[in-house]
């Protein structure tokens, strides 16, 4: 993670918007430090389990608490509490919270969304709230930790592809352009407007060159196949004309080349339709739990100021795998 930089607006001059009533704050009396997950809805998140496993493995009297709320004011109040270690941030706060932070890392600034709040100290002793985006690190490490070095080298200068246009899309584009070295990234999505917004935002942040919305099956048939793909859509059967067209484009592009796909969707099952299409075309499929785990490890690297190599990585993988192997109630 790169050094944090001041955001364009000073948070000291801003007030959070009026928010709905916040839920009660979980007790922290028995803990030395506490991290939170801010967002809504988050009741089924594995984040507390992941971070709790790390804290336990390091013999730290820490925990992560879910704080399910749409109230940005309440989240910021918790971030000022003495035992606050840091926070994971998900929707609807990933963009809205940025103006209230003191500093952003280049990753957070470029992607335009933060999924992690961490603390640093000002030279005058003031505590600074900083924001970063570890989703792009999770994507990068999910790939790097699961493929051969030769395969990574083959990705540079080749085509990448992102399936989707939502919140994960920007982090995926950033990872493919910045870390994987793709010269062009295809964007495949049912909604052209979403993709145009992604391209506009990525260009404004300096990593939008070579982004291409693949609009039709005919266009897909003419294109060179991608070498690395990030799937970032829910696993629902296509119903509308746009969804059916998007599925055919995916099938066509995955049929041109053999490569590596990171399928971010793993709930309720990692055996998604996109993953099955990829496997049928002899692609290496990396499950989204890998990205989730590595972005979480990066969060604790920032919060605890310890290298990932000092964290119980294998234990985290075992615990998450065991949890996901149990049927949901």
Residue 52: predicted pLDDT? 98
* Phi, psi of 86, deg, nearest 5: 165, 180
Question: 137-287: same fold as 11-133?
Answer: yes
Distance from C-alpha of 223 to C-alpha of 253, rounded to nearest angstrom:
8
Q: Token pair 């995916």 is at which residue? A: 250
Residue 233: predicted pLDDT? 92
* Spatial CA neighbour of 145 closest among 257, 278, 291, 266: 291
Q: Is the pTM of this model over 0.85?
A: yes
Do the beta carbons of residue 131 and residue 108 sit within 8 Å?
yes
Which CATH class, in words, describes the domain spanning 137-287?
alpha beta
DSSP structure string for 261-327: EEE---SS-S--HHHHHHHHTT-EEEEHHHHHHHHHHHHHHHHHT--GGGS-HHHHHHHHHHHHHSP
Q: Token pair 């928010």 is at which residue? A: 19
Residue 253: predicted pLDDT? 98
pLDDT digits (tens, 9 = 90+) for 91-132: 999 999 999 999 999 999 999 999 999 999 988 888 999 999
Residues of the chain predicted below pLDDT 50? 7-10, 12-13
Residue 269: predicted pLDDT? 83
Distance from C-alpha of 245 to C-alpha of 174, rounded to nearest angstrom:
26
Residue 14: predicted pLDDT? 55
Domain range annotation of the chain: 11-133, 137-287
Distance from C-alpha of 300 to C-alpha of 294, rounded to nearest angstrom:
10
Residue 9: predicted pLDDT? 45
* Spatial CA neighbour of 95 closest among 72, 117, 76, 112: 112
Q: Is 248 helix (H, G, I), strand (E, B) or coil?
A: helix
First to last CA, the chain: 38
CATH of the domain spanning 11-133: 3.40.50.10860
Residue 118: predicted pLDDT? 97
Q: How many Cβ atoms from other residues are within 10 Å of residue 174's Cβ? A: 23
pLDDT digits (tens, 9 = 90+) for 78-94: 999 999 999 999 999 99
Residue 44: predicted pLDDT? 86
């Amino acid at each position: 993670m790169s050094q944090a930089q001041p955001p364009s607006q000073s948070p000291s001059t801003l007030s959070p918007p009026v928010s709905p009533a916040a839920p009660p704050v979980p007790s922290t009396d028995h803990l030395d430090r506490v991290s939170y997950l801010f967002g809504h809805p988050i009741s089924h998140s594995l984040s507390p389990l992941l971070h709790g496993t790390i804290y336990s493995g390091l013999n730290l009297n820490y925990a992560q608490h879910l704080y399910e709320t749409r109230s940005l004011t309440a989240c910021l109040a918790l971030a000022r509490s003495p035992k606050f270690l840091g926070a994971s941030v998900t929707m609807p706060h990933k963009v809205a919270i940025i103006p209230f932070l003191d500093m952003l890392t280049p990753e957070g600034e470029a992607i335009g969304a933060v999924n992690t709040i961490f603390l640093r100290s000002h030279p005058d002793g003031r505590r600074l709230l900083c924001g970063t985006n570890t989703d792009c690190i999770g994507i990068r490490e999910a790939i790097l930790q699961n493929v051969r070095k030769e395969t990574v080298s083959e990705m540079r200068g080749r085509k990448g592809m992102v399936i989707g246009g939502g919140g994960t899309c920007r982090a995926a584009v950033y990872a493919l352009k910045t870390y994987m070295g793709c010269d062009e990234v295809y964007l495949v999505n049912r909604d052209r407007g979403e993709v145009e917004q992604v391209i506009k935002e990525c260009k404004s942040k300096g990593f939008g060159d070579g982004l291409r919305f693949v609009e039709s099956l005919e266009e897909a048939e003419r294109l060179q196949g991608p070498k690395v793909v990030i799937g970032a859509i829910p696993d629902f059967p296509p119903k509308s004309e746009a969804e059916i067209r998007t599925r055919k484009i995916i099938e066509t592009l995955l049929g041109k080349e053999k490569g590596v796909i990171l399928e971010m969707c793993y709930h309720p099952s990692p055996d998604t339709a996109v993953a099955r299409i990829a496997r049928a075309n002899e692609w290496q499929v990396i499950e989204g739990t890998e990205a989730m785990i590595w972005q979480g490890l990066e969060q604790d690297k920032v919060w605890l100021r310890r290298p990932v190599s000092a964290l119980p990585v294998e234990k985290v993988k075992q615990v998450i795998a065991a949890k996901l192997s149990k049927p949901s109630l």
